Structure 1
Amino acid sequence: MSAERPAADTDFVETNVILAKTLEWDDLSVPVSEYLADRGSSQSLVTSARVFEEARRVVEKQRKRIREVAEKIHEDFDPGYFDTIDDVLKFVDREFLDRWDKLDPIKRYIEYYDSGFLGLTDADSESNLRMLYEDIRDDFDDALDLIEDIETGAASRVNVSNITDAPEGYLGLSEYELEYQHLDAFLDDYDRNILLDAFWYTNETSTSPLVFVSFDSDIYSNDGRIEEQLSTLEVYDTTVYLGA
């Protein structure tokens, strides 16, 4: 894998690209925008229905967790005279670090909406909590609406063709058994199946190579293992946009 731009005409984008364009507070918003400015104007972009399915799942999970964090701050944060958003973030670390695998997306939203979460530290914050719930609902409803617009082609922000006829699953499909087993050894279900969607697309359309664009370190750090098995894919070195 090289930091140089692959010469292929078509890029397959995974879930983080869609999320970064729908969640304004996402830390990948800037690098994904740089990628789209670099590639999106000259390359065809494709993705699969499974990517949109995962994006919705992530958005709903974040919404649920942020509401839970807001309620915990409202109930258990010990307010002081000079509380800052850093105090709130430290409280969140203490309360949730051992419960959830990824706190960064939650903390970025708290920083994005710092005034709303600081309002929960007031001695009487019941009304602030109700208002924050409404803002959380609106923010995440907007994100889900934009995912649908991108999926259906109604959004001009990202012009992506949606693959809707890929197999529902790959377990038990003899023509993909070796690839499935190979990827299953080191990737989770969604990453594995999204990669197989891209591989399936190359087989169906004779698109080769197809550049697989991922901002997920589980994927781009395993580029050699993936490309060895999925010979029609080239995993893009997105660290050029991440500054790594």
Structure 2
Amino acid sequence: MHNRYLNLQISKFKVIVTLNVIRGGWGPQGQFYLLDIGVCLKNNREQCNGDLSIDVTRFSEMIIYPNTSAWCRPNSLDLCPPYHLSNDGQKIYRNDMKNFPYDAYHLYCAPYNAEFAEKPFRECDRYSNPQRRNSSSFFLTLNGQSMAIRPRKNVWIGDSRMWELDAGRLSSRLFFYQDPGTPAAARKWSAIDVDTEIFISSYTETTEWTLSDFNVIPTWFSIRTWETKFDNS
């Protein structure tokens, strides 16, 4: 796993990363996240303080594994966010079967302490993290500037490329649960990862990839803290 730990107070930042996937064994339900961005916020919009009973980690997960399908569908609205924000800021609700981009989302899941989550909804796995989680997993277009709303080309093993990702803008458009009546929370992204998830499989699965260049670039300089640590674990 490759991480950058930082404290970005804004949505205006890009990530430039060069990825070369050498081997990909993920099993039938595996994932590869070109970026996995995290922020910790309570449901009342307050910043987390270490109280695992009410802290919630929110994940923006950008999928490029070509075998991953969209679980968000017109007949599976519980796996879709309540709405999608278009490029121009228009809200498109998930029951708008003509305009909602179902193919853009792998899944959305709500934290299991979301008392007022809009029904239908699916709870995130209760046991994958110490605290509750709230995840939105979506597909990227080839240019990395938007979500995919059409079948994805097989950008995969042996296709090394540099990605310039409009990561802040994309992640700022995602829906994350907040209690009704609370002001919109400032998303202070604290971790940006390139990582994989290998789920239960009947075989031994091995994944190998290399990164060259991994740069987080603010496009508007209003950052309270700029401290990065590189973790090659």
- Which category describes the TM-score, using the shorter chain as reference length? under 0.3
* Structure with more contact order per residue of length (Cα contacts < 8 Å, sep ≥ 6): 2
TM-score (norm 1): 0.26
Specify the structure having the higher radius of gyration (Cα): 1
TM-score (norm 2): 0.27
